[in-house]
Amino acid sequence: MSSVDTAALVILAMNGMALGMSIILVSWIYALHRHARRVFEPLESSAGKTSPALPSVPRPSRWLAVRAAGPKAVQAALGSNRFTPCSWPDGMTGAYEFFISPQVHGWVIVTGSGLPDPGDDVDACFHFLTALSRRLGHVQFFHADRLLHHHAWARLDEGCVTRAFAWTGETGWNQGVETLAEIALRLKCPGYGDRSMTAREAETNSERVPLLAARWSIDPAEINRHLARQPGSAGGLASIY
């Protein structure tokens, strides 16, 4: 056999070995891929299954933030035990006379059609809040009418108003010294009977009520959705004053 033939055989042998190694490598990679699919496909499948949607928490137009021992204390202060379990989304719609939330970060949210509207009667609002505060201690009130842009906020301790403002086309309530939060948010607070607030200023004030609530206590619409899984209670109440 000539040296040329020997060289050719060597080259063929090397090519064959290279081809064989390539086939082995491809087979090994394919086997790894199949194994990986068997391992990760169940994980991907379970990850693709979404848990039940977390409820969204709408922001009511009028609410209380009460720093109380808990919902039972609020129920007792309202003078009624006619409350049944109710979800956050349902309770926050305002469809009930009263909805009392579970305690969140030390606060209990109360909302519903039973809360007095300053636009209807500021005095009734004052009497309701002072009576409730005498029983519960620290109570905050917020109101923001999305249509008329009427708005109000109040803070009370042990039945005493420490700060309150209400605009219903004119200033119907302005009591206490403006807080740092009000000043920082540039809320306009004319004196009693003043009608000088423009429509745009009233709208801006109304839109910033939730921001004030977040600084004073808590904004209901910003409550963690996982916390909103906990049911509150809804029902009616007896007169508290």
Instruction: Dump pLDDT digits (tens) for 126-138.
Output: 999 999 999 999 9
Q: Reduce the DSSP state of residue 118 to 3 states and report it.
A: coil
pLDDT, residue 89, reads: 78
> Is 9 buried (19+), middle (13-18) or exposed (0-12) by CB count in 10 A?
exposed
pLDDT, residue 52, reads: 45
Instruction: Dump pLDDT digits (tens) for 91-102.
Output: 877 778 899 999
> Is 97 buried (19+), middle (13-18) or exposed (0-12) by CB count in 10 A?
middle
Rounded distance, CA 17 to CA 31, Å?
A: 21
Terminal Cα-to-Cα distance of the chain (whole angstroms) = 120
Rounded distance, CA 233 to CA 215, Å?
A: 26
Biggest distance spanned by C-alpha atoms of the chain: 120
- Kind and range of the H or E run holding 235: strand 232-235
Q: Reduce the DSSP state of residue 224 to 3 states and report it.
A: coil
Instruction: Dump pLDDT digits (tens) for 20-35.
Output: 566 665 565 555 555 4
